[in-house]
Amino acid sequence: MRIDIITVLPELLKSPFEASILKRAIEAGLVEVHFHNLRDFTTDNYKSIDDTQFGGGAGMVMMVEPIDKCISKLKEERNYDEVIYMTPDGDTLNQSIANQISLKENIIILCGHYKGVDQRVRDMFITKEISIGDYVLSGGELGAAVLCDAVIRLIPGVLGNETSALTDSFQDNLLAPPIYTKPRNYKGLEVPEVLLSGHAANIEKWREDQAYQRTKDRRPDLLED
């Protein structure tokens, strides 16, 4: 998979990709991540990428021309499956969306800033709009990092255990069950006996029951889906 991220703050975005799982995925050649500074596609001496709104109103708007130039240049070099815009009014990111995107070959992620982008950008280029929650950030960079993390870990070979991602919370609309490791007894708190039984069917049944109960208690809305 190749991910091209368009941003006005590439320095803010790079650090998550220089450590842990994301770094290993890049070094193993399982994913390519490229950052494109939108100011490199401006035409004036001030490298302006925003201007005031037509019709008045508070806040600046990202201009269409630099974004057009950047996306058009990328599209001349390869085909893209999705051009994603990180925006508070997009579809809320969930595991299903992450699963779908992880199957793509090439994607562009555009990070919004200020009051957002000129609507013509959305009309001309954007194929999917994603939000990471019902709140507003200073820009789309942190949202893009969250999206990339959620997607990249699903690519085959990225995680050490190939089945690990498949048992995460939300994969089957259930939260993950409780998990335990050594020691068996810690300050009087015991590991459930079923997990020590070695009986695979009973353990799986216990985990399914616990996952359902935890989801019912904490996120009943997931069961409605």
The overall pTM is greater than 0.75: yes
Q: Which helix (H) or strand (E) holds 146?
A: helix 141-152
CA distance 65 to 82: 20
Burial of residue 103, with CB atoms counted within 10 A of its CB: 0-12 exposed, 13-18 middle, 19 or more buried: exposed
In a structure prediction context, what are the per-residue pLDDT tens digits for the chain, which is 225 residues long? 999 999 999 999 999 999 889 999 999 999 999 999 999 999 888 899 999 999 999 999 999 999 999 999 999 999 999 999 999 999 999 999 999 999 999 999 999 988 999 999 999 999 999 999 999 899 999 999 999 999 999 999 998 765 555 555 556 788 989 999 999 999 999 999 999 999 999 999 999 999 999 999 999 998 986
- pLDDT for 114-148, tens place per residue? 899 999 999 999 999 999 999 989 999 999 999 99
Among the listed residues 106, 47, 48, 104, the one whose alpha carbon sits nearest the alpha carbon of residue 74:
106
- pLDDT for 168-193, tens place per residue? 555 678 898 999 999 999 999 999 99
Q: Which helix (H) or strand (E) holds 208?
A: helix 200-218
Q: How many helices (H) and strands (E) does the chain have?
A: 8, 9
CA distance 111 to 104: 19
pLDDT of residue 162: 55
Q: Please report the sign of the dihedral spanned by the C-alpha atoms of residue 14, residue 17, residue 75, residue 138.
A: negative
CA distance 110 to 9: 12
